[in-house]
Structure formats: C-alpha cells, structure tokens
Amino acid sequence: QQQVKQSPQSLIVQKGGISIINCAYENTAFDYFPWYQQFPGKGPALLIAIRPDVSEKKEGRFTISFNKSAKQFSLHIMDSQPGDSATYFCAASQGAMEYGNKLVFGAGTILRVKS
C-alpha cells in the first residue's frame, strides 16, 4: 500500500514534443506529491509538487495532472528540450508528523530528448 508505481521505465521524445510520465498510488492518506529531476551523479532536485485539493498545477513547461478518484498523477513536460534529458521520479508522502513526512519514490523514468 506504500508503493508508488511509475511508468514508463524509459522514454524517448523528439525535441519540442511532450513528455508524459505517469504514477499511481494506493495509500489514500498520501497528501503531497512531488516530482524530482535527477541528473547522473547528482542528487534529485524538486521540480514541481501538488496537493490533492487541486487537479492541475503548472510551472513553466512542467505540469502535474492529479486524478484523486483514480489515485493517479502525471508529469507533462511541454516543448521538451535536450537539457530535460534526466531521470524523473515521482513521490508521495503523508504530511502528518507521526509519519515523519517520509517520501515514497517511484522507480524512476529515464527521459531522453532527441535533438
């Protein structure tokens, strides 16, 4: 129930195209859903995050779509660029203090944007 399932495992997109990565969760107590971007040999960097009271959040070229009833959320990268080539992780956590705000990560998606 603590798992977050992420797909696809890898993705190749043409420059200028839309990259879409999907995640699904089971634990309905999760109330914070961040996406992280990680380049090789570096730590993850927070990209964008959403809470379940909204269905969509957009920051620049990055958009999270959230479907509470389906327990799914996705990351859309518009106008994908070669510099977006990285590994993307979705995650989820429960905000209550007794859960320590521990993040549960998806397996990751390796994105390659072809120029």
Enumerate binding residues for other proteins (CB under 8 A): 32, 34, 36, 41-46, 49, 89, 93, 95, 100-103, 105-108, 110
Q: Using the minimum distance from each CB to other proteins, give the nearer residue, 17 or 57.
A: 57
Give all strands (DSSP E) within the chain, no chain letters.
Answer: 4-7, 10-14, 19-25, 33-38, 45-50, 56-59, 62-67, 72-77, 86-92, 104-105, 109-114
Q: What is the smallest separation between the CB atom of 41 and other proteins, expressed in angstroms? A: 7
The conformation of residue 70, written as its DSSP 8-state character, comes to T
Q: Using the minimum distance from each CB to other proteins, give the nearer residue, 17 or 104.
A: 104
Q: Using the minimum distance from each CB to other proteins, give the nearer residue, 63 or 106.
A: 106
